[in-house]
Chains A and B, each alone.
Chain A
Amino acid sequence: MNYIQIKNLSKRYFDVNALENINIKISKGSLFGLLGPNGAGKTTLLKILATLISPDDGKVEINEIDLVKKPRQIRELIGYVAQEISLDKILTGRELLDFQADLYHIPKTKKLERIQDLIIKLDMQNWIDRKCGTYSGGMKRRIDLAAGLLHLPKVLILDEPTVGLDIESRNIIWDLLKNLKEDGMTIILSSHYLNEIDYLADTVVIINDGKVIDQGNPNYLKSKLGGERISLKVREFSSPEESEKVKEILNKIDGIRQIVINSAQGYSLNFIAEKEKDFLTKLKVELAFSKFEIFSLTQSQPSLDDVYLQATGKTLQDAEIFMAGKRDLKKESKQSMR
């Protein structure tokens, strides 16, 4: 059952196409991962779902309620945890939760109970009565998450919830998300961390440059890629030049594709070998011909990064680093001020 339907959704900022003709279906009770590098359009999509910005084109329905026509009904359904956390420095965590509960019209009788419940679940007892201005990044995230959960939303939206967090906070958040999912909550989570999506999500959509690259179950996407991921070394630590030579040799072999030199692992060569073809014999012959030997040859499972690499020709990490330097976040936040 498709609980959330996004049809032909587009959004522009001046000359940037932040989202282009996005189509996504999310079923009830799933933990849906939105994977993409910085600038892919994740925040824009989630802000539209949270009714903070309106789409230029297309349609979104949650539980068959039109998001543009009935934003207030949508707001009651969703809990939104923004990428940029904004707490009132001067309020204590407890006061903030109390404030938030009133904005969601939670009756007085239930308010204290819910707040107490979340304080325990997110392990906030020790600092909940301190002012938000004194909180660390992890504490801020946790209190913000608690605020998003107070009204027991049907859909929880989290925009890069674990970026830059300490491991303790991250684990608490991950565990809570898993529990919430078991309780039947629909969760949408954006991330540029493969591990996070791989660990948490049962459905993933990979977006890049405002467009959907692929979507489905992570394992399905990986297996769809086909082939075996091979990592080859001709020496423990090769020079870049040597690896370039080996790359040329590999290029000639039928059944080997997508050769990447991995500078982080002693200039090893990573590539995909098609399963049916016996590339190994040929590889040995060709290498010996150029006086190379196989130092190590390891096989690995495809990851979501390979899915991304396949579609864009870049690793997710490279795309992330490339974009991070290009954006003027100050200007963007000025422009998105209401």
Chain B
Amino acid sequence: MELKQFNFLFLYQETFALTKRLFIQLKRRPSTLIAGILQPIIWLFLFGALFSNAPKDFLPGVNSYGNFLGAGLIVFTAFSGALNSGLPLMFDREFGFLNRLLVAPLTSRLSIILSSFLYITILSFIQSIAIMFISYLLGYGFPEFFGLGIVFATLILLVLFVTSISLCLAFILPGHIELIALIFVVNLPLLFASTALAPISFMPSWLGWIASFNPLTFAIEPIRVSYTSSINLDFIALHAPYGDLTCRDCISLLFILTISSLIVINPLLNKKLN
């Protein structure tokens, strides 16, 4: 292993350039960004209308279904974006652009990974803020300052977790067709098997069990709680079949998942990038 003379400014320069490229692509092909904002908003309207007469007592701590749904859609949007984050990397592999990066004397090739993280995190923040703003206009409220902190912390963890998996898949799978197929297959079932659209108390017990292990649920519940005024970390966020989880528990679980996935994929990324 070569002893790298680690230069922080160089790392910044290359990561900035890689991230900037992703944003130029986004700017010239804004459809992903727009679809990523429009889709959840349409859902908010439609699902909100569909379940507007749902018995309110079943929805814990909120006063309307739209209010309940907002958190689910924010998380789902961030999740979808992160799940797709492997695609640009896959295209770079397939079209040989990755070779341009590998021939360059990058300070650390992790800057390739880091730039994807930065890009997706910023993108999902933009989308989330847009959704939060629109659901505010629809009368579904807005988190307070501390609540906003929880929203963004949770989103960062979820995005890191899912992005690392997606980047990994982008290196393992043979081509973009396979990657898109996998994203397609995973995306909606994970949504339906979470508490995004309905609380666990609505679900048959087998689905409740699945939902209470679904990482999306761990992200949705703290964000849902952050919309309530009495927010604090010890607030019971989820009545899981195996016991009650507080906000803190959910975020901690998400944190553990994220760290473990980073640890698990690290050797693979090292192998592919060295």
Contact = CB atoms under 8 A, between A and B. Distances in A.
A75 B104 contact: yes
Interface stretch (B21-29, B70-78, B158-166): B21-29
Interface in B85-101: 93-101
A100 B100 contact: yes
B216 to A, nearest CB: 31
Given A50-B103, A70-B2, A72-B105, A337 B94 contact: yes
A10 B99 CA distance: 22
B39 interface: no
B17 A82 contact: no
B239 interface: no
Interface in A72-106: 72-73, 75-76, 78, 80, 82, 84, 86-88, 90-91, 95, 98-100, 102-105
A139 B96 CA distance: 18
B103 A51 contact: yes
A82 B99 CA distance: 9
B16 A80 contact: no
A326 interface: no
A172 B100 CA distance: 23
B58 interface: no
B96 A82 contact: yes
B29 A103 contact: no
Contact of A72 (B2, B96, B98, B171): B2
B99 A103 contact: no
A52 interface: yes
Contact of B14 (A51, A71, A105): A105
Contacts of B24: 90-91, 95
B54 interface: no
Contacts of A105: 7, 10, 13-14, 105, 107
B105 A102 contact: no
Interface string B1-41: 01010010010011011001100110011000000000000
Contact of A338 (B4, B7, B13, B272): B272
A71 B4 CA distance: 10
A91 B100 CA distance: 14
Nearest to A144: B100
Contacts of B93: 337-338
B61 interface: no
Nearest to B27: A90
Given A76-B105, A102-B14, A103-B101, A88 B96 contact: no
B106 interface: yes
A75 to B, nearest CB: 4
Interface string B60-74: 000000000000000
B2 A69 contact: yes
Contact of A52 (B20, B102, B107): B102
Contacts of A87: 97
B2 A86 contact: no
A334 interface: yes
B124 to A, nearest CB: 21
B2 A71 contact: yes
Interface string A324-338: 000000000110011
Contacts of B98: 338
A105 B4 CA distance: 15
A334 B101 contact: no
A52 B99 CA distance: 7
B17 A99 contact: yes
B109 to A, nearest CB: 10
Contacts of A334: 174-175
A174 to B, nearest CB: 23
Given A102-B14, A103-B14, A105-B10, A338 B102 contact: yes
Contacts of A88: 21, 25, 97
Interface in B232-253: none
A146 B100 CA distance: 13
Contact of A102 (B4, B13, B95): B13
A189 B94 CA distance: 25
Nearest to B10: A105
Contacts of A80: 103
B174 A103 contact: no
A86 B103 contact: no
Contacts of A98: 17
B21 A91 contact: yes
A319 to B, nearest CB: 26
A230 B97 CA distance: 49
A104 B104 contact: yes
A103 B104 contact: yes
A86 B104 contact: no
B35 to A, nearest CB: 18
Nearest to B272: A338
B102 A84 contact: no
Contacts of A76: 105
Given A72-B105, A75-B103, A103-B14, 9 more contacts: A71-B2, A73-B105, A86-B99, A88-B21, A99-B17, A100-B100, A103-B101, A334-B174, A337-B93
Interface of B: 2, 4, 7, 10, 13-14, 16-17, 20-21, 24-25, 28-29, 93-107, 171, 174-175, 272-273
7 contacts: A71-B2, A72-B105, A75-B104, A78-B103, A103-B100, A105-B14, A333-B96
